[in-house]
Amino acid sequence: MNKRQRENIAVITGASAGIGLELTRKLLSEDWQVIALIRSDFPPDDMSIQTAVKSGWLRIYKTEDLADYTSLRRTLEEIKGKEQRIDILFNNAGGSFSELSYSKQGREKHYELMTVVPYIILMELMELIKSGRLKTVINTSSSALKFTKEFNIEILERPKVFRKLLGPYATSKLALSLWTQAIAPQLAKDDIKIRSVDPGSNNTLRKGKKSGLPILVIPLMKLFFSPPTHGAGKLYDGALGEHRNKTGVFLLKGQVAELKFKDEAQNVLERIKAIYEQEFSQRDC
């Protein structure tokens, strides 16, 4: 296969399950090349995925844990060593945990995985994005951020209380959207556009995986939430739809929406920038 026939290249984190898997399928079906940054394997019985891997259209880079800097650094170095450019980066990996837990770096795990790590990935892959044609970054956020009642760096890094979905998960997604807004002017200097996107309510439950959802939400999700193809469509539209020329915005139900605690946006950005510079980029591999 001549890869030049598939001119667009996307990176998708969390590409092997849920919304990420459906987004991978959608882009491959539209003649994109996909660089998958994943922890778990793709479904072995998905023939279209396996064909894409064999053809080189889908290239897999595995990490043991995105929230473990040693593992993440190794994988990002591999991507930088093998890939030539990136047109769109989809920072999509995430999850809701069932109890309060911390990363190897000592920060609450929702915050580490869904606020700090997307920034690290963006910074590390920046040169490949600059070499791309579309120069677009999409951060997967959540409408759960609307329920955040209190917000500051201390709550993000070491919560005093834990609530499923509406606790650290929601505040971490809000922090993600806030730094997305704050960093936009800086990225615009290199013609890079960045947006955070709510993929809507999707049934992403997986058999054998412990859920971080409130117990009452689980049956509602099974009965009423959309399949992950819905969320994939929202992320796709967020990247290539009517708002493709906007930057720094949060898209909710396909429209630009206001964020709470906007005065904290620069504080969040400065904090995760410091984490990146002091803990990730300066340490030996």
Tens digits of per-residue pLDDT, 200-256? Answer: 875 555 555 565 555 565 565 565 566 789 999 999 999 999 999 999 999 999 999
Residue 211, number of CB atoms within 10 A of its CB: 18
For residues 165, 97, 66 and 177, what is the CA-based torsion angle, rounded to 10 degrees?
10
pLDDT at residue 41 greater than cutoff 80: yes
| Radius of gyration, CA atoms only, the chain | 18
- pLDDT of the residue at 240: 98
| Residue 260, helix vs strand vs coil | coil
- Is pLDDT at 284 greater than 60 in this prediction? no
State pLDDT tens for residues 48-72.
999 999 999 999 999 999 999 999 9
> Can you tell me the distance from the alpha carbon of 204 to that of 225, in angstroms, rounded to the nearest whole number?
9
Q: Give the span between the Cα atoms of 182 and 178, in whole angstroms.
A: 6
Q: Which residues contact 278 (CB under 8 A, 6 or more apart)?
A: none
Nearest to 114 by CA among 150, 82, 70, 145: 145
- The pLDDT of residue 210 is 60
Q: What is the pLDDT of residues 10-35, one digit of tens each?
A: 999 999 999 999 999 999 999 999 99
Q: At what angle do helices 18-29 and 47-55 cross, to 10 degrees?
A: 60
CA-to-CA distance for 204 and 219, rounded, in angstroms?
A: 12
Rounded to an integer, what distance in angstroms lies between the CA atom of residue 12 and that of residue 273? 22
d(CA 44, CA 48): 10
Q: What is the pLDDT confidence band of residue 166, given thresholds at 50, 70 and 90?
A: confident
Distance of CA 70 to the CA centre of its chain: 19
Eight-class DSSP state of 16: T
Q: d(Cα 80, Cα 224) in Å, to the nearest integer?
A: 41
Domains and CATH numbers, the chain: 3-280 (3.40.50.720)
The residue count of the chain comes to: 285
